[in-house]
Chain A
């Protein structure tokens, strides 16, 4: 299967939007494009599993390698393993849900869908890249659409948040850039030539001093994207100011770029340094998990609640990577997928509520189950998944990380695991409080929005078809992982084994 289709499809459909006038054709094109992306992602999964069951044990499948800048040894090199496929599936789900949920965007609709599709080009490209330059290229491609999406269509202090997000992410990518250049210049493919190729670099032995110097750059750089404490401050502002679809993309996909980068670039290519620094990563991740959870308790705005809880949940990803066992890393990948789906669903639910009540303040909401049962159910499911209820994906992922952490017979790792476990209690507190306040209880829809109540009496305020489909899609994903986690586990494990083979040589 030709992986470049994953980039070309959204790119061409984004270009196809340009000549049309108005939002209508734009959203139809986007819907067609994003559903084809989902089909493509499933086709990829199918072919991938076929190849694997046919006994193909290559590290990466469906590789394509073209020379791009020959004098600088830059190639367009793509390929996928289980981790990439999981991320691609996640992206396809979230993109389709995001397009559906934004069906009624009227203001500058054409530009909106153009940017959404363009953003997905960056995400797909990032997940399939096997060349550090291409990877970095796509990482940065995904930043500016976010800036525009938040700044133009956002709410609240949107300009501030957009600028903050863009600058923080670009600082992150500046760090990544330094890390990548450092790696590149210390590779040697014979007679002093360098390479950007991830698979080739993985075969080399980069000197420990080099790794120790450049690992922090790469890890912190990607960590900014993945909400590594203390570089997470763009998350709450960015998420809460963004329009619904952009929040879904941000939390569902963009933050995963960081986690994936930490794993694929920083840890995989510089395993010695990852081992040496792992205690710092674990400490920072544990702080993020606890701090994020406690900070969420103090929030009264629904979007801020989910944004801070994302900081906490993404902490599990970094914790899993920091623990450096096979189970923990598998758990980290599963947490990325799970959190991506769950948080997208959560933001979708919040967006739907906000569209109707025009408030996100907990104090102004109550009893929504009475007038919008579907939306309320979505909200509750997202909440339960977030607090790690068995049967949903969050439970599976978090437990895998904990198991991975506990399996290291060392008090330090076990304490970190206990701390992380403890955060679940806090999570339960804020989730149940939000659900109890907004969904249950006496009806309250903010200040004097009488037209809403009148329409509610006619039963016309619940989710529309597009919103139902978007929510259903994400719920299917969550439940599929929650009930049958083994398929995701089996998909990811061979890839994490490859990464661990490199590391366990050092750990032991």
Chain B
């Protein structure tokens, strides 16, 4: 295959194709911004969404498999699939933000920051080494703080950014502490090396707890969830949806690969921790979600509860567990983004974000109401929406361990969560209102995003292809 350097370069281009493509888009946007040419926002957005579409499509064409940089970076069919999921979510969010961004002054910067975080997540997922993982994590977190501040005139937005940067700095600190202790305990940062040296002594378990706390912050699991609601409420809706779906999804992907492949020698210890965190997350997320009046805060707490359910699947320690978690994230992308799509539209066009503003929404906006309703049904786990299958499989995998108490708690929590999802449905469909929000006209791009979400919700569960594919990747 020619000279070694040429092979290096070829490998580099092949294996990192997803990362390189995102980097390329970032550079294109940077040059656009630097050139003297003034772009109209509409044109720019169309162009960017086109690039993102290419980015998504490219992920399906060539599926690389291999290692780079002395085993620091690895990629496989599964990793590529996870990256494709993140790409898909990013595209949907970008399409949905059209109405918000078209009057914004800094469109190019928004996307440069957004894609930087995406790039960070790619590195994080592909990491085969704790340093590489940490690098990716930071790259994906710091620009997000800047993004939270993107409603430039609003004080709440800067407040959100501030809270976000402080809490993520704190969690990164914990994570780094854990990593260094783990290095001290095992003498290596490479995942496989760590696995070989794990023997379950208390020092190692303690360092694992620190790592878990770091992860817990990122996915806002109880008791590390306190930043979530304020940040979600203050940030622009596009960023909120990105935070709640993409960034959590990426961290969950990493958690699966690390927990299932690296920390297997101490599986019993982490099972108990995940069990406790999962129960607490479900219960507290649900209880707080019951009383929320702001749509974004409401979805923030409901997403905390969803994380609790995901952790049930994660606790399964079986192929069924890992595939159900990845499958659920796919469904969660569609369901949560479907809900956020409507909320973002209402917020961008009408500036309303409270539940009460949605009274009688069905009268004036039947289609949007159905989109929101279908998304919420899916989040609540009601058939025939995909969320039903997602939740069923998560609990199902969790039950495989033989711990029925977890399943009983989770099943009852599903009923509690149903109450607040139905409450929103009730407000939209049943509450009378003299002056409901007027009919909202929108561009075709958000419409496509919503159609994608609804289509995904209706098809992903009934057609078993997606789950079977994920399962085959994990075998």
Tell me the A residues contacting B by CB distance below 8 Å: 68-72, 74, 133, 137-138, 140-141, 143-144, 147-148, 151-152, 158-159, 162-163, 166-167, 170-171, 174-175, 177-178, 181-182, 184-185
List B364-413 residues whose CB lies under 8 Å from chain A: 377, 382-384, 388, 392-393, 395-396, 399-400, 402, 404, 407-408, 411-412
* Contact, CB under 8 Å: B430 / A159: yes
* Contact, CB under 8 Å: B382 / A143: yes
By Cβ-Cβ distance, the 10 closest A-B pairs, closest first, are A174-B411, A71-B471, A151-B430, A69-B464, A181-B399, A171-B415, A140-B383, A137-B383, A170-B415, A141-B383
* Contact, CB under 8 Å: A140 / B418: no
Tell me the complex Cα distance, A152–B426, Å: 9
24 contacts between A and B (CB under 8 A): A68-B464, A71-B319, A71-B467, A71-B471, A72-B320, A72-B393, A140-B382, A140-B388, A144-B382, A147-B422, A148-B425, A158-B430, A159-B430, A159-B431, A162-B426, A170-B415, A170-B418, A174-B414, A178-B404, A178-B407, A178-B408, A181-B396, A181-B399, A182-B399
Select which of A138, A171, A184 is within 8 A of B412 by beta carbon: A171
Given the interface pairs A170-B414, A170-B418, the reply to whether A72 lies near B426 with Cβ below 8 Å is no
Given the interface pairs A159-B430, A163-B426, the reply to whether A141 lies near B418 with Cβ below 8 Å is no
Select which of B384, B415, B429 is within 8 A of A152 by beta carbon: B429
Say how far B159's CB is from chain A's closest CB, in angstroms.
35
Residue of A nearest to B429 (CB): A152
Most buried by B among A140, A141, A177, A182: A177
13 additional contacts (CB under 8 A) given A72-B396, A144-B377, A158-B430: A69-B467, A71-B323, A144-B382, A151-B430, A163-B419, A163-B422, A163-B423, A163-B426, A177-B395, A178-B404, A181-B396, A182-B404, A184-B396
Select which of B320, B404, B412, B431 is within 8 A of A174 by beta carbon: B412
* Contact, CB under 8 Å: A151 / B426: yes
Select which of B388, B402, B464, B467 is within 8 A of A137 by beta carbon: B388
Tell me the B residues contacting A by CB distance below 8 Å: 319-320, 323, 377, 382-384, 388, 392-393, 395-396, 399-400, 402, 404, 407-408, 411-412, 414-415, 418-419, 422-423, 425-426, 429-431, 464, 467-468, 471
Say how far B266's CB is from chain A's closest CB, in angstroms.
25
Residue of B nearest to A217 (CB): B408
Say how far A367's CB is from chain B's closest CB, in angstroms.
36
| Residues of chain A within 8 A of B414, CB atoms compared | 170, 174
Given the interface pairs A148-B429, A159-B430, the reply to whether A69 lies near B468 with Cβ below 8 Å is yes
Most buried by A among B320, B418, B419, B423: B418
| Residues of chain A within 8 A of B464, CB atoms compared | 68-70, 74
Tell me the complex Cα distance, A140–B414, Å: 13
Tell me the complex Cα distance, A185–B400, Å: 7
Q: Is the interface of B mostly helix, strand, loop or mixed?
A: helix
Say how far A23's CB is from chain B's closest CB, in angstroms.
14
* Contact, CB under 8 Å: B395 / A71: no
Tell me the complex Cα distance, A138–B462, Å: 12
Say how far B167's CB is from chain A's closest CB, in angstroms.
34
| Residues of chain B within 8 A of A72, CB atoms compared | 320, 393, 396
| Residues of chain A within 8 A of B412, CB atoms compared | 171, 174
* Contact, CB under 8 Å: B411 / A185: no
Tell me the complex Cα distance, A133–B392, Å: 9
| Residues of chain B within 8 A of A69, CB atoms compared | 464, 467-468
Given the interface pairs A68-B464, A71-B468, A137-B384, the reply to whether A152 lies near B430 with Cβ below 8 Å is yes
Tell me the complex Cα distance, A170–B396, Å: 18
* Contact, CB under 8 Å: B384 / A141: yes
Tell me the complex Cα distance, A140–B418, Å: 12
| Residues of chain B within 8 A of A148, CB atoms compared | 425, 429
Say how far A73's CB is from chain B's closest CB, in angstroms.
11
| Residues of chain B within 8 A of A143, CB atoms compared | 382
Tell me the complex Cα distance, A147–B323, Å: 33
* Contact, CB under 8 Å: B468 / A151: no
Say how far A122's CB is from chain B's closest CB, in angstroms.
9
| Residues of chain A within 8 A of B418, CB atoms compared | 166-167, 170
| Residues of chain B within 8 A of A181, CB atoms compared | 395-396, 399, 407
Most buried by A among B388, B400, B408: B408
Select which of A71, A144, A162, A182 is within 8 A of B320 by beta carbon: A71
Say how far A195's CB is from chain B's closest CB, in angstroms.
13
Residue of B nearest to A181 (CB): B399
Residue of B nearest to A140 (CB): B383
Say how far B355's CB is from chain A's closest CB, in angstroms.
15
Tell me the complex Cα distance, A175–B422, Å: 20
* Contact, CB under 8 Å: B415 / A167: yes
| Residues of chain A within 8 A of B408, CB atoms compared | 178
Residue of B nearest to A70 (CB): B468
Given the interface pairs A69-B467, A72-B396, A152-B430, the reply to whether A185 lies near B402 with Cβ below 8 Å is yes
Say how far A130's CB is from chain B's closest CB, in angstroms.
18
Tell me the complex Cα distance, A305–B136, Å: 66
Say how far A243's CB is from chain B's closest CB, in angstroms.
13
Tell me the complex Cα distance, A143–B414, Å: 14
Tell me the complex Cα distance, A363–B64, Å: 78
* Contact, CB under 8 Å: A151 / B407: no
Tell me the complex Cα distance, A147–B418, Å: 12
Residue of A nearest to B462 (CB): A68
Tell me the complex Cα distance, A389–B305, Å: 54
| Residues of chain A within 8 A of B468, CB atoms compared | 69-71
* Contact, CB under 8 Å: B429 / A151: yes
| Residues of chain B within 8 A of A166, CB atoms compared | 418, 422
| Residues of chain B within 8 A of A141, CB atoms compared | 383-384
Tell me the complex Cα distance, A158–B430, Å: 9
Tell me the complex Cα distance, A63–B382, Å: 27
Given the interface pairs A71-B320, A71-B467, A185-B399, the reply to whether A177 lies near B411 with Cβ below 8 Å is yes
